[in-house]
A and B are shown apart, each in its own frame.
Chain A
Amino acid sequence: MIRFRNVTKHYEPNVYALRDFSLHIKPQDFVSIVGKSGAGKTTLIKLLTAEERPTKGRIIVGGWDITNIHLREIPFLRRQIGVIFQNFMLLPNRTAFENIAFALQVCGAAPHKVAKIVPQILKIVGLGHKQDFYPHQLSGGEQQRVGIARALIHRPKILLADEPTGNLDAINEQEIINLLKKINELGTTVILVTHNKGIVNSLHKRVITLDAGELVNDQHHGKYII
Chain B
Amino acid sequence: MVVSCLRIIKFAWQDFYRNFWLSVVVIIVLILALSSVNALVGLNVLNGEMLKILQNKISVNVFLSEKISAAQLANFQNYLHGIKEIDKVVYVSPEQGLSQFKAKHKNDQAMIDALSELDKNPLLPTLVLFANDTKAFGNILAQIDSSDYAALVTDKNFDDHEDAINKINSFSEKARVVGLVLAAFFALVSILLIFNAIRIIIYTHREEIGIMRLVGATNSFIRLPFIVESIFYGLFAVALTTILCYGVCWLALPYVNAFFGSSIDLFAYLNTHLWKMLGVEVAGVILLNVVSSGLAVARYLKV
Contacts and interface: CB of A to CB of B under 8 A. Distances in A.
B216 interface: yes
A102 B1 contact: no
B221 A108 contact: yes
A74 B215 CA distance: 10
B215 A91 contact: no
Contacts of B222: 106
B218 interface: yes
Interface in B147-169: none
A76 interface: yes
Contact of A109 (B3, B218, B219): B3
A103 interface: yes
Interface residues of A, number: 24
A110 interface: yes
A76 B213 CA distance: 11
B303 A83 contact: no
A105 B216 contact: no
Given A108-B3, A109-B3, A110-B3, A83 B214 contact: yes
Interface string A129-154: 00000000000000000000010011
B91 to A, nearest CB: 81
A78 B216 contact: yes
A83 B211 CA distance: 11
> DSSP majority for the B interface?
helix
Contact of B216 (A72, A75, A89, A110): A75
Contacts of A49: 214
B133 interface: no
A107 B219 contact: no
A89 B219 contact: no
Interface string B183-208: 00000000000000000000000011
Nearest to B10: A105
Interface string A71-86: 1101111110001000
A107 B1 CA distance: 10
A83 B214 CA distance: 8
B103 interface: no
B210 A89 contact: yes
A111 to B, nearest CB: 7
A91 B219 contact: no
Contact of A78 (B3, B7, B207, B213): B213
A106 B210 CA distance: 12
Interface string B83-100: 000000000000000000
Nearest to B222: A106
A78 B214 contact: yes
A89 B214 contact: yes
A89 B211 contact: yes
A76 B210 CA distance: 16
Contact of B7 (A83, A89, A105): A105
A109 B215 CA distance: 13
Contacts of B216: 75-79, 107, 154
B115 interface: no
Interface pairs A-B: 8 shortest CB-CB: A78-B216, A79-B216, A106-B217, A103-B215, A75-B216, A108-B4, A106-B212, A75-B218
16 contacts: A49-B214, A72-B218, A78-B216, A79-B216, A91-B208, A91-B211, A102-B211, A102-B215, A103-B215, A106-B221, A107-B215, A107-B216, A107-B218, A108-B3, A109-B3, A154-B215
Given A79-B216, A107-B218, 19 more contacts: A72-B218, A72-B219, A75-B216, A75-B218, A78-B214, A79-B215, A83-B214, A91-B207, A102-B208, A102-B215, A103-B215, A106-B212, A106-B215, A106-B217, A107-B221, A108-B3, A108-B4, A108-B7, A111-B3
